[in-house]
Amino acid sequence: MGGIALVTIDRPERGNALAPSMHAMFRAVWSDVRDDPAVRVAIVTGAGEKHFCTGFDVATDEETSEVFINQPLGESVFWSPYQNRVWKPVIAAVNGLCVGGGHHFVVDADIILASRNASFVDTHVNVGMVGALENLGLAKRLPLGTALRMTLQGKHFRLGAERATRRPSRRRGRSCACTGCTPTSPRVRRRSGRSASRAGTPTPTPASRERRAKSDARSPREFQPSPRRSEGPAPAAPAAPPPGGGAGCSAAGGRGGGGPGGEDRHDLMDFSFTPEQESFRAEVREFLADWRDVDGFMCQGRAWPRVREMFRAMGERGWLALVWPREHGGLGAGLIEEFILWDEVAYARAARNPLAAGIVAKTLIRHGSDEQKRRWLPPIRSGDAHFSLAYSEPEAGSDLASLRTRAERRGDAYVVNGQKCWQSYTHDMDYLWLLARTGAPESRGRGLSLFIVDKNAPGVTVRPLPTMDGDQLHEIFFENVEIPERQRVGPENGAWGIMGEALADERHIQFPPGRVRKDYEDVVGFVATLARDSRWNAVRVAATRERLAELSVLALEVEMHALRVLDAMARGVSAVADAAANKVAHTIACQKIARAAFDLGGAAALADPRIRLIWQVATYETIGGGTSEIMRGIVARQSLGLDAT
């Protein structure tokens, strides 16, 4: 009708639920919409007054779980216009409940109109399933916390149309879930038809666009997108995002708009780096070209002699003290430069950022005595002093406040007894950054203190704990180890707040996305060689390309998580929840990339030393640095407002 295609889900007796038998019909419909030049815009809605889409109809005989298990995921969810490559405007007219599969249409529509009785809900979690990806897509239109709450709480969190279409506050900078008002059900189709007529009008000529631009320029509500660097044409094959290739971050720079005329103008992240920052990146890459053989990121223990040499070379350039204040011998650079440095080092697989130059030095600068600064900062800056964290214990891994290693005050010294466990690279380090209890046993975090301990001090015993990747962690035993009072950092019983500050200093470099990009590129290279040598058929190649494309998107998502943390820190905003989400996304992405190599390459992946190492290292990384369960709890409490219960 007048260039508008009306697509109606017509199963009101089943709540307009989707069924596998409708898959082919939807593909045919979207093919017609895409290919018919007379169709300029499409409307998707549901028959009846109360139903748009109630997810998948699991009650029918043809829709058993076996149907989905035996089909590739990509084949079982091709319902929406976007999934079927329809690049014409689409309006979703939601006149009832939108749940599960219905979210495909909501997420992928250009305009969403909802009747007042419409609501949005996800029941995956209530039937024992993981929340679907379309809910993450809703974060493009909803606040991220709302989209995640819908995913985590299932039917217990129903988002009504009135709330979904509420105009966002300029302060929060959110974009709304649905465009326009919330008409009653009989009016939603008429309203969507009028919107479709406007959306389907022929494209204005260049001259009229120029006149419109000049007119808009006089408006105080003009939409001013932030400048972006021009990009070349997209590659035909899925490819990994280039290391540091244009996805950068600075404090909120651009301006965006959510409605006509930019009524919902809000700050957007600027993903570009400055020319000076890009110049620094080039300098780092040039430096790393001379250290291609280091390969200490995955297994630093085996590569430590070369890693230590490289750290000394970095110390000569001042890079180990890159962000230290100048009065303490640093270069006074910013967080973004520090991120670039260690992201490039991670992509080169050279090493992980040393704890001495980060957590230890920054804590000493903030809380150390003048004597401690004179004693420790110069050798840390030059790469001659290295530390291992002695935090975790056999009964206090994720809950450090319950640790038992005790430091008792005896005159002008402390005597330490206890055990630490799962420390990284202790056998190669010079000193221990020890967390011990100096308060009462029940004091929890209020009774902890920090100390510097010589690894070779009498009474210190370090034992290896071999890991599956051929490297090792360590356990440390303290038996009447005497520590001078001058080696206590900060006040007695004051370590808890100091540790929180130190962790905040390091959030932007703890999980560099360059490592994920490199894992992905290694897997792509392995699979490409295998496919060529084994002469895979076209079907297998196509399925493999699709799998690799999904992983490419995953690598980009990890980079965006990392840049959100960096952006928040650069603006002085708390990044606790963002950092927790980044850690979960980072480690899970590494595991999925490694798993894909084995799914696609089979036994050949096990025979490839690099691929085998990627899998071995990724397997246990969801534990180190805080388990994924702990990180998800932080996100749930701080981003979603959920109670611990």
Bridge partners, 8 (sequence order):
45
Q: Cβ distance 393 to 401 under 8 Å?
A: no
pLDDT for position 318: 97
Answer yes or no: are the C-beta atoms of 93 and 188 closer than 8 Å.
Answer: yes
Alpha helices in 218-359 (DSSP H): 275-288, 300-316, 335-347
Tell me if 347 sits within 8 A of 515, measured CB to CB: yes
Q: Say how far apart CA 392 and CA 465 lie, in whole Å.
A: 14
3 falls in which pLDDT band (50, 70, 90)?
confident
Query: Residue 175 pLDDT more than 50?
Result: no
- By DSSP bridging, strand 90-94 and strand 51-54 are unpaired
Mean pLDDT of 53-59: 70
Composition of the chain by helix, strand, coil, percent to 5:
50, 15, 35
pLDDT at 266: 36
Location of structure tokens 């540091």: 244
More confident site: 46 or 414: 414
Q: Could you tell me the two tokens for 195?
A: 């919107």
Please name the amino acid found at residue 491.
P
- Helices 576-601, 538-570: inter-axial angle, 10-degree rounding: 160
Contact indicator for 481, 416 with CB cutoff of 8 Å: yes
Model confidence pLDDT, tens digit, residues 350-372: 999 999 999 999 999 999 999 99
DSSP assignments along 166-233, one per residue: SPPPTTTTPPPSS-S----HHHHHHHHHHHHHHHTSPPPPHHHHHHHHHHHHTSTT---PPP-----P
Confidence bin at 217 (pLDDT 50/70/90): very low
Residues 615-627: tens digit of each pLDDT: 999 988 888 777 8
Which of 70-84, 150-164, 465-479 shows the lowest mean pLDDT across its residues? 70-84
Please give the full DSSP string across 408-465, using - where no structure is assigned. EEETTEEEEEEEEEEEESGGG-SEEEEEEE-S-GGGGGGGEEEEEEETTSTTEEEEEE
Of the two residues 248 and 15, the one the predictor is more confident about is 15
CA 171 centroid distance within chain: 24
Helix 513-534 vs helix 538-570: angle between axes, to the nearest 10 degrees?
Answer: 170
- pLDDT-derived band of residue 128, with 50, 70 and 90 as boundaries? low
Over the stretch 585-601, which tens digit does the pLDDT of each residue have? 999 999 999 999 999 99
Choosing from 49, 283, 501, 506, the catalytic residue is 506
- Whether 506 is catalytic is yes
The whole-chain average pLDDT of the chain stands at 79
Bridge-based pairing state of the strands 448-454 and 431-437: antiparallel
Coil/strand/helix, residue 52 = strand
